[in-house]
Amino acid sequence: MKASRKVQKILSNYEGENPGVKGNLCRMLMEGRLKGTGKMIILPVDQGFEHGPARTYGPNPAAYDPHYHYQLAIDAGLNAFAAPLGLLEAGADTFAGQIPTILKLNSANSLMSGTAGKDQAVTGSIDDALRLGCSAIGFTIYPGSDAQLDMYEEIVEMRREAASLGIPTVIWSYPRGEAISKEGETAIDVAAYAAQIAALLGAHIIKIKLSTDHLEVPEAKAMFEEQGIDISTQAARVAECMRSSFNGRRIVVFSGGAKKGEDSIFDDARAIRDGGGNGSIIGRNSFQRERSEALALFDKLVSIYKDNG
């Protein structure tokens, strides 16, 4: 596998990393139908933990089978497949070496009370990632939660251990919790701040949500307005999040969220592309559709990221 010049340029931004970390990043960037472009599409399947099986797989019963997701990611020509420990274990041998995998190391669930606070439990280890041949680990943080500082300390230690063994880290940086409003979870100033926090914690790949033009923090709102920072379009907001990710020196992918219409998905991808983002991490919007529909959706997304759609 020869890395493209585009991928070599991306890897050069990770100046403090060892060849193992860069090699695994290269493997993901050079995998699938977007290989060599610097763009990525990742399939994440952690929603069964987060929302429960019926809410997650009910719209497409074939998706109850972990093998379904491995095969979907492979057949769609995606860059990687991300899931919690048990789901990856259920297909690790059958699909060994066929698709880069990302072990999601922490999870929450919807059976907790509203007073429990926003936090996640550690549900896997770096040893598990090594044993399963994973190309990266994944970890969620909740900027805005009263538990956020503990989460930062957890991922810093896990990231250090993983990097020492040549494994990169993907940080899901999802603002939520006691310090911000529901509208603030997707505010542009908060989204950009979440990207910056993930970058500062050492994320090799940052996963955030697409943002709205809402400004949550008064001091940030004043600065956005004083400096005339453009947040009028989704592409402009993507660009601001990229700027906050070390001026584009970190790979940033944007989540698809709950299932929605195809036109919205494609418009989001065009905005990510036009704003300089690295791609999509899209779960329910793909596997909750019938297989042929999901493959057609990924076909179109690949075309968009190749500037053909």
Q: Burial code of 137-169, b = ≥16 C-beta within 10 A, e = fewer?
A: bbbbbbbbbebbeebbebbeebbebbbeebbbb
Task: Locate the DSSP E strands across the chain.
Answer: 40-44, 80-84, 101-104, 106-107, 121-122, 136-141, 169-173, 205-209, 251-255, 279-281
Q: List, as one string, the DSSP characters of 55-112.
A: HHHTTSGGGGSHHHHHHHHHHTT-SEEEEEHHHHHTTTTTTTTTS-EEEE-EE--TTS
Look up residue 194 and give its two tokens: 């979440």
Ramachandran assignment for 258, one of left (phi > 0), alpha (psi -120 to 50 degrees), beta (any other) = beta
Choose the catalytic residue: 22, 39, 118, 207: 207
In sequence order, the 6+-apart residues with CB closer than 8 A to the CB of 180 are 144, 187, 190, 216
How far does Cα 270 stand from its chain's mean position? 17
CA count, 13 A, side-chain hemisphere, 66: 17
**What are 282's two structure tokens?**
């899209």
Establish whether 207 is a catalytic residue: yes
Residue written as tokens 């310090």? Answer: 179
Catalytic residue check, 14: no
Which 8-state DSSP code applies to residue 4? P
User: Which is nearest to 140 in space by CA: 126, 131, 150, 130?
Assistant: 150
Q: 57, 174, 193, 305: which one is catalytic? A: 174
Q: The tokens of 44 are what? A: 């994440």
Residue 140: φ, ψ to 5°: -95, 135
Could you list the active site residues? 174, 207
